[in-house]
Amino acid sequence: MEKAVQQTDYDALSCRLSAIQKGYLPSPYFQGQQCHYDGYKELHLQYLNTLKTVSRRIYGKVNRVLQSSFPVMNFGTYLRTVSIDLELNRLLADYEGSPVQVLDLGGGSDLRMVPLLSSFPQLRFVDVDYRESTEVKSKVLWRNERLKKALNLEIDEEDSGMIRSSRYKLIACDLNNISETKQKLGEVTESNVPTIVITECVLCYMGQDESQALINYITHHFSPGHWISYDPIGGSQANDRFGTIMQANLRDSRSLEMPTLMVYNSKEAYAKRFMPLEARVEDMWHVFEDIPPEEMKRLKSLQFLDEVEELKVMQTHYVLCKVDWKKPCIT
């Protein structure tokens, strides 16, 4: 199961690179207002090229998927990325001048920390993922001079050569193991510093008990806190077969399970993950419909999108959840 989940990160990297190459990302309208995205494309292409020197196997998988990405996938990646970045940048701007930390749980190969650390000097960023994923990322970041310099990296001799810096930490941890998670995060975070948590297609791959234990720990331990979570939902209508088909495809092609896809199968059900806190949940189709005309014109000029109905079906089954708390959650 762990290996299968790690493979989803390579898919996400391929999709991200495709959206960048085609010009969907970065969005000058959504992403360029509060954060510096200079050299965004070059940064990601350098990551890919350096990945080839670290693991030809992973590079080959990423490159194959990259070559076969369709407009509907690029639009989906665009919606996923800009919706998370918008909320993240807004929250960080609110803490301008004050210490703040971001915990990217299951962040995989994501490079979100590079423009963020450049734009927000008060920020400390913690990347968390399975050891195999962090070891690959650590090697890529260390071997690429531009990334190494941007993050001011050093080798952490106490953690088998994993990289770190004064403001960036990359740690190996199985989020399903709550004891290990508490220990590892306790070593690199402060509980009383404002904390923003990102889980991007992470909770959906965890069991119900394990994901709830993670949510309970984070919301009880850190304050004030904010959680940004992006996940698929299975669908709650009687004739909605999206979740059933998705689960079957994942089992057949990846031997992969989404244990709570049909448990938190609607926006309302997904919000219950975070009770008693109030969660604000919107689907990605709503985000699509709110794209202003000038930005939509730019997007449509990049590729011809004729699968609008397919895009709608997919994006109504992905949600962005936002949760805030000012003091440790009491249950």
Detail the residues annotated as belonging to a binding site for S-adenosyl-L-methionine: 80, 106, 174-175, 200
Q: Name the 3-class secondary structure at 13.
A: helix
- CB-facing half-sphere around the CA of 188: CA atoms within 13 A: 25
Q: How far is the C-alpha of 198 from the C-alpha of 129, rounded, in Å?
A: 12
> Could you tell me if 128 and 218 are in contact, meaning their C-beta atoms sit under 8 angstroms apart?
no
> Could you tell me if 312 and 265 are in contact, meaning their C-beta atoms sit under 8 angstroms apart?
no
Residues 6+ apart with CB under 8 A from 127: 104, 107, 110, 113, 134, 137, 168, 169, 170, 171
Which residues line the annotated binding site? 80, 106, 174-175, 200
Q: What are the residue ranges of helices labelled H in 95-177? A: 113-119, 131-143, 145-151
Q: How many CB atoms lie within 10 A of CB 206?
A: 21
